[in-house]
Structure 1
Amino acid sequence: MNIISVSNLRRAFGAKTAVDDLSFDVPRGAAVGYIGANGAGKSTTIKMLTGILKPTSGTALTCGLEPLQQRRQLARRIGVVFGQRSQLWWDLPLRDSFRALGAIHRLAPDAVRARTGELVDRLDLDDFVDTPVRQLSLGQRIRGEVAAALLHGPELLILDEPTIGLDVLSKERLRVFLTEQRAQHGTSLLLATHDMGDVRRLTERILVVDHGRLAFDGTLTELAGQVGAERIVVLDLTEPAPDLVGVPGTRLVGVEAGGLRQRLSFAPGETTVAAILSVVASRAQVHDLTIEEPDIEAVVRRLYAS
């Protein structure tokens, strides 16, 4: 059974159509990135999936439920984080927000305490869990929001720009936690974001939406291949070598440290890293190599332009 099923979904606001004939499925346990430019229809889709907005036409099922008609039942089975909106009580300490949410979800007090303890530990909330929410930094509040969304053990976690405005350390802490939660609890994830680092680290499949329509459904690697994006193999040599030009299927795009490090760009469909290394090894001794993936933002721009 799919955790999300969308068929011919459409939402219009007067003469403007925000979501237009959208169809896709998300299997239970999957992690899917939902990306697109500002105004592409991402947040509108999420609001229909969670029962906040009524579709103009088409159907959407979340956890097998009709979001608007069965919104109360659905609320017990999903967790939602909107990066610029809060489900916490600003004048209460974070811990009291968790108690209130536990009561709303009709959780036993012992279950709330146990789950709160786990989330406080895993998200490093201990230093500020008794601080009023209004006094928290953005990074602290977002971690609190994620904990609140997961308090009742939802089947599906929907995140809309969860790391917006966070520093690098806070982003990484949150990404590690979400990865661990999915592994431990099998939570499904739908992530709408502009942060390609989030997409790369947290999802296995991406849906690209453009002007409310689905423009792509697949993996990041498949997306890069569709628009002709190239990967870069970075070769660290044991000693300086002449420029590695003429390696079949590659372009030399950079030479550093007098030839000790050289970068070759290649299209995955035209050659392989093994083939490149075989040719390079006949001309220089390779100490180490790394692969740089295409810049995903550039890949998405090229998809829109195609």
Structure 2
Amino acid sequence: MNALPERLAIVVVRDGALPAGADETAAEAGGAVLLTGTGTARAAKELTAARATWTVESAQVTPGSLAATLAPLLDDVRVVLLPASPDGRDLAPRLAFDTGRPLHAGAVRCGTDTADLSRVDDALELRVRFTGPVIVTLAPGVRGVGHPIPAPEPAELRVAPVEVLDAEQVEVRAPEPETVELTEARRILGGGAGLVRPGEDGAAVLRTLTEVAAWLGASAGATRVVTDAGWAGHDRQIGTTGVVVDPDLYVAFGISGATQHTGGLGRPEHVVSINTDPHCPMTAMADLGIIADAPEVLRELDRRRRDA
């Protein structure tokens, strides 16, 4: 068996599909990643930040059994990192219990001796220092992965699965658009300061944006100005100080396109800008620029939603 390194990312795979944050977590662990679940060999080919890859294939994804199977492999691993994806959040506390380690959830950065955790609605960072081996979950969309590197050939770890009393999977449902994490959203409607007129209730306007987005099968995001004003939660903030997204479609309502915001957009396939300024950076980068009053466009969409 190949010796596992001091820092290791563990990523749960379903049917060969990597979860959000897989490459970020691999990069934070120095490129060392262990894939577990179903279709791990196929998923290994999709990693862009891995320098060394191990796989532990299982018949199905059950967090209790996976934790009991993986725990004996981690004796020499000081820091175990998991993406804070749904499966990562399920596996992490079970791994912590089976290995007798503390769990630090919601990290935005993690080294060998410390982790920075996001707290109080993502508006506060708390640094913790490790005194021994730990389990850490990394929030997706908070760091880049650098330039892609060729996927290494994975080393298969052959271990006997450990059967334990576990939750039975009945069905896996797609998340509702209004609650899905922005890092996983394929369509996003973003709201900026230009969406809220002076004297208006900004929180109510952003609620309307969320409802219209859900009607269109999309999620709602926001700029830093909007989240700093308290009109939307910081988990909805897109940008270099928020989350990094990579949707198929991004529709910007009243967003000028500051570098801090556009730096978190990834590479959307299509960008639509709704703004009264035809020369703003967001309209310049858009595939379609609609020169119109963003609040009025949102009101018209909301009217059509209500009449539908």
TM-score tier (shorter): under 0.3
The structure whose RCO (Cα within 8 Å, separation 6+) is larger is: 1
Task: Report the TM-score when normalising by structure 2.
Answer: 0.26
Structure with max Cα Rg: 1
Could you tell me the TM-score, scaled by structure 1's length?
A: 0.26
Higher helix share: 1
